[in-house]
Structures are given as structure tokens and as C-alpha cells.
Amino acid sequence: MFELKKKLAAFAAVTALAVGLPVTAGAQDQIKVGILSHDTGPFAQNGQGFHRGIEVYQALHGKSAGGREIEFVYRDIGGPNPAVGKRLAEELIVREKVQILGGFALSSEALAVGPIVEQTKTPAITFIASSPSVLAGSQYFLKSGQHIAQSSSAGATFARKQGAEKCYIVVSDYQPGYDAQKAFRKTFESEGGQIVGEVRVPLNTVDFAAIVEGIASTETDCINVFVPPGAPAIGLLRALAERGLVESNFVVGMGEAEDHILPQYDDSVVGFKGALYYAEALDNEENKTFIAKLKELYGPDTQPDFASASAYDGAHLIYEMVKSQEGKDWSGPDAVEAVKGLSWNGVRGPMKIDPETRELVQNIYLREVQKVDGKLQNAIVDQLEAVEAPSKEWMEN
Amino acid sequence: MEQFLASLAFIILYGGTYGAVLFIISVGLVMTMGLMRVPNLAHGAFAALGGYLTILLMNQAGANYFVAVPVAVILVAALGALAERTIYVRLYNIPELDQILLTVGIAFIFVGGLALTFGPNVFTIRLPEVLSGSVDLFGRSFPVYRVFLLAVGALIILGFWLVFDRTTLGAKLRAAVDNRSMAQATGINVERIVMLAFAAGTGLAALGGAIGAGLFPLEPLYPIKYLTIILIIVALSGFGNIKSSIVVAMVVGIADTAARYYLPELGGFAIYALVIAAVAMRPAGMFARQG
């Protein structure tokens, strides 16, 4: 009998550990945050942004909040590999005993980790993953990035505002590409424009000349693009520019030509536009402080990007969640509940968590690549305020 | 009709340039596969290195494009010769699986090294003024850069033809590819030939990596990312069959471009269909002698 009791106790302890229940009662004085990052592989740029955004936030706001010390633990997924992301998330929760998860460059990672987050009631903040289905994965998911349709639809609205009538859509052949394509098409058409062509380009495409040739043979005054940053984005934009289409069309994408990528382009990229929730040139206090500290920590040539900005705003959200539990036993679900409806000024401007959908309500900026004093940079040429994420029904129909 | 002719001109010129770069990058591997029977999976790494060295020479030493590219090519060729004498020479008599493991390991070392040195981002080589404009050909404008690639490709092909068919070195090389031990028995210094061929092959890969950067963007994953297409050229050419590799590279380049133009959504896969068909019907190489 005694033996059995011992076994049961051990079993209970193991299960408690496995599902991440607080084993020790009472208020801990430390909160551990696990960041699923990419320090190697094709998305290492995003991982670098995650590290920098968080480190800048800590440098500015200290390493504790609400009476608890906050420690970040990083794990490298190293490529588009949801299974590795899932394994690392388990390891972070079970072995490292993190109370909050963050990071998530890709939606596929967030989708894979969703069930673990739900089971262990661990709040998780996706910095970039922007697929409409991410938040449905668990009620404990929050975002510091965007819903992909916020930027895509805004791109279509901006194009219509500039008088674009006939648009061609080029997206990469993967889920985010389809979502972006759908949102752009729906908005552009509902605002009276016409989509004259759509093409999904295989992800492994490096030479876009043939695709661009197809667009050039169509009558367009607007081209919408959505391809992953890096080689595909550079290849596509250069091919468009080479064919003279950047000059003759309203070419709008998202993050294909952020400031730190611009040195990879020549002047033919001038005029390219990106609709996104963040812009390096934003003239608000938070962004100025953020950039100043970023340059102080990593050198004067360092430039912010949407990854570091999202990580910074994500870190703020994490700090707010920890603050909400001040003086109480840590409870993940309570922390998530506490920040629903929270609004604050991030480096991207005013942002708010919609308490119903948990999506962000935020501005979308239209940025245009311009040449100022011999240097290429993005200028903000227009903006839409307090853009909400579309409903699930809107995305599906 | 006019539309059709314009698209045809596009496919031939763009597909041709694509094929030319593919040929320049792959021919070294075709040659060394024939000579050494070592599947050098690190071949793409030498191409990447050529591109990155060009960037270094241009950005750090302020070299002109037309100086930086040949210097990078010579440096990589020298490194290739050194690597052949020190590393690859040990691979000739070991099992194939070990050869693959070792060369793919070298490729991964390059991937890591490039990421560490240059960061994870894509690097572009700034083209000089003369190459950045466009010219009118077949009634439409084409970028000078593409014409330049075609010209370099044609020069290399001409050079190969001269060396192979018209020089003693070429004859020795052909002899070594066809029957190594017999060549050795007739007094040909096969070791030296192998080293020269390896250096030439890596040098050409570096040339392809440098001038072809506009088509194959330089990034740390380059050595792995473009390995497939390089191996496709090698597989379709047959080991050591240089003349057929010219035709194969052009066919692959033009077929790929045409497929991407006419069927953009399937275009990326059309080339694999071609490979499957070709390998199934002519396993020794697309244009290999039968029997």
C-alpha cells in the first residue's frame, strides 16, 4: 500500500511537471520566457531581430516587472521545421520550466506548438507568424505582429487611393501567399478595381524573369507582390525593375524592401511600396528611443526591421502580462485575460489587443523607397489608422 | 503572332543566359566526375566562394568588377588545386558513401563559414555602368547583363572546344577520362591532369558564381540550394561528357524558362519531369553514345 502511494505521488509529480503545472506554490520571483527563434538557416535574419528587439527592450526597461525578474531563454529552430519547433517548445516548458513562450517567425511553427500551449495553459506571443489560423490554435496565443490581411488589404486600399485600376498579383506558392493574395484581391475588387492576372510562383524560384515577362505582356497599372524576404524578394523586385515595371506601375508588397535590405538593391527599386504595420522612419517617441538604443548596442549602422520591432513590442506585452500578476501566484490564463483589450504605444504607433479576437488593432503604413542624399530609404507616404483584422468569415469567403 | 515571336525571343535569350550560367557552374563537376569519379557535392561551395570573393574585392579593396571577377576566379582555382592535392586526393579509393559524406560535409562547412562571415542575408554584386543598361534585340529591349552572360558563356564554350579538340593537353584529358589506367600506362601524368582539371573546374564554378549572381543570388545556403540543379546537369550529361553538357545546360535553361513563362504555377516542376523522362530513357546521359 505504501509502495503504491509512493508510486502515485511520483506519478503525480511527473505529470504535473509534464503539463507544466506550478509544482511549487507561492509567488515565484522569476518568470522565464522561452523564445523560439531562428539563429541559423534561411530565417536567421528574423532571429537576429528577435534577439535585438528583446535586448533593446530589456536595456531600456530593466530586467524585472511586477516584482519578478524576467529571464529570456532562446532556442534555435534553424529552418522551416515545425516538428523541431514543437520539440523545442516542449523542452522549454518541461525542462526549462518557462511560463511564457514567444518568438515564432513562421505560422507553421505556431500551428505545431498550438496544442502544447493549449494543454499547458502557457501564454505564447507570436512575433511574426501572421496566418489567420494561428490564434485559433490556442486561446493562450497573442500576437505582436499582424494578421496578414491587415497589410495585404491595406495595400489594395492604398493602390485604389492612388487611382490604380488594373492589378496583377504575384505571390509565393505557400499558405501565407494564398492568404495575402486573397485579402488583396477581395479588397481591391470590393473597392472597384480589377484583377487582371494572378500567379503563384514556386518557392524555389530564383530567376523571376519569365514570370515578369508574363506580367509585362498584360495591361496593368498596379502589381501586388508577396514573396518571402531574402533571395526570392530580391530576385522578383530586380526582375520587375529590369523590365521597367517598378517605374510604370504601382508596385506594392509588404516587407520585401525594408531599410536594412535596401543596400542589396540598386536604384531601380526606387518607387517600390510596402504596406506594413511598422516603418523604420516612424516619427514617434517609442520608435526614436528604440532606434537610438539599437544603434547604441549594435553599432551605428544597425537598422531596425519589422522582426526587431515586433520583438520589442512583444517584449512589452510580456512585461505587461507579468505586471498584471504582481503579488499573486503566477497564472498564465489570468495573465492573458489581463492584457485582452490592452492598448499602448508601441514602436509602430498606437496598438490595441482586440478583446474578442485577440488580434491587434494597429496602423498600417504605406512606405515608398526613395533616394535621399544619394541613399536609398523608405519614406512613409500614407497610412491607415486603427486597422482591424478581418473576421474568419471574411477570410474564408 | 508578334506577341508569340516576342515571347519566343525572350525564352531563347533568357533561357540561353540561364543555360550559359548553368553550364559554367556545372562543367567543372561534369569534368571531375569523369576524371576522378568523386561526386564532389561541395562543388557549389566553390561557385559561392567566387561570388563572395568578388564582393569582398569590390567592397573592401575597391576593385573594378572586371578586375575583381578574374582575381576571384584565379584565387578559387588555386584553392581548388590545393584542395585537390590535400583533401580530394584522399577520396579516390574510398567507398562512394564516404566520398558523399565528406564532400557534403565540406559544403556544410562553407554554408556555416559564409553565414558567420557575411551574415544570413543575400548579397548582390553591383554591376558596372556598362552592364546595367539595356539594348534592342529582335525588336525589343534586353538587359546588357544578359547579353554579357551569353557572350561569356559562348567564350567559355569556344575555349573548351579549342583546348579539348586542338591541344595535346585536351587529348591527354580525354584519354584520362576515357581510360585512366591506359592513359597512365602511356606516360601521361594523370595526377597533374586531374589537379589542373579540378582547378579549372572550381575556377569556372567561381566564374559562374560571380557573374551569375544576378540569376543565382548569393546567400550562405548557396552551396546546398543550387546543388540540385548542378547535379541535374551532371546526371543528364553523363560523366565527363563535356560537349553534351553544353547542350544539356542550354536545354535545361530554355526548357525551365519556357515552362515558367507558359505555366508559371507548374514551371518550377517541369524541369524535374524532364529529368525523370531523360534519365528513364537515357540513363547514361541525354546525349551519350548508346551501347
Q: Indicate whether A177 pLDDT > 80.
A: yes
B134 vs A381, more confident? A381
DSSP string, A220-248: -SEEEEE--TTHHHHHHHHHHHHTTHHHH
Q: Does A137 share its domain with A171?
A: no
Identity of the residue in B215, B216, B260 whose CB atom sits nearest the CB atom of A211: B260
Task: Give tens-digit pLDDT for B147-169.
Answer: 999 999 999 989 988 988 889 98
Q: Given the DSSP bridges, would you call strands A30-37 and A343-346 parallel, antiparallel or unpaired?
A: unpaired
Q: Compute the distance between CA of residue A165 and CA of residue A317 in angstroms, rounded to an integer.
A: 40
Closest CA to A303 of A364, A258, A265: A258
pLDDT at A8: 55
* Distance to chain B for A124, nearest Cα, Å: 26
What's the whole-number mean pLDDT along residues B125-135? Answer: 83
Give the structural domain span for A162: 149-276+364-396
A210, part of any domain? yes
A12, part of any domain? no
- Confidence tier at B86 by pLDDT (50, 70, 90): very high
Closest CA to A225 of A212, A210, A242: A212
A83, part of any domain? yes
Q: At residue A154, what are phi and psi to the nearest 5 degrees?
A: -60, -40
Q: Does A206 share its domain with A142?
A: no
Q: Does A375 share its domain with A329?
A: no
What's the whole-number mean pLDDT along residues A279-297? Answer: 95
A13, part of any domain? no
Contact residues, chain A, for B269 at CB < 8 Å: 202
Q: Does A325 share its domain with A294?
A: yes
| A210–B11 C-beta distance less than 8 A | yes
Q: Compute the distance between CA of residue B262 and CA of residue A169 in angstroms, rounded to an integer.
A: 16
Q: Does A323 share its domain with A269?
A: no
Chain A residues with CB-CB distance to B under 8 A?
Answer: 40-42, 44-45, 48, 173, 199-202, 204-207, 209-211, 213-214, 217, 230-231, 234-235, 238, 242, 261, 264-266
Q: Indicate whether A20 pLDDT > 60.
A: no
| B124–A217 C-beta distance less than 8 A | no
The domain total for chain A is 2
Identity of the residue in B6, B215, B267 whose CB atom sits nearest the CB atom of A206: B215
Task: Give tens-digit pLDDT for A302-316.
Answer: 999 999 999 999 999
pLDDT at B217: 87
CA dist list (Å): A173 to A199, A205, A236, A272, B257: 9, 10, 14, 22, 18
Identity of the residue in B132, B221, B264 whose CB atom sits nearest the CB atom of A214: B264
Q: Does A290 share its domain with A272?
A: no
For all residues of chain B together, what is the average pLDDT? Answer: 88
| A238–B10 C-beta distance less than 8 A | no
A23, part of any domain? no
Q: Does A142 share its domain with A179?
A: no
* Distance to chain B for A66, nearest Cα, Å: 37
Task: Give B212's DSSP letter.
Answer: G
Torsion angle, alpha carbons of B79, B82, B83, B87, to 10: -160
Q: At residue A369, what are phi and psi to the nearest 5 degrees?
A: -75, 125
Q: Compute the distance between CA of residue A242 and CA of residue A155 in angstroms, rounded to an integer.
A: 23
Task: Give tens-digit pLDDT for A25-65.
Answer: 445 689 999 999 998 777 888 899 999 999 999 999 999 99
What's the whole-number mean pLDDT along residues B177-189? Answer: 86
Q: What is the CATH number of the domain that holds A62?
A: 3.40.50.2300
Q: Indicate whether A279 pLDDT > 60.
A: yes
A324, part of any domain? yes
Residues forming beta bridges with residue B5, ordered by sequence position = none
A3, part of any domain? no
Q: Does A376 share its domain with A251?
A: yes
Q: Compute the distance between CA of residue A152 and CA of residue A395 in angstroms, rounded to an integer.
A: 12
Q: Does A114 share its domain with A137?
A: yes
Contact (Cβ atoms closer than 8 angstroms) between residue A332 and residue A130: no
Q: Does A288 share its domain with A340?
A: yes
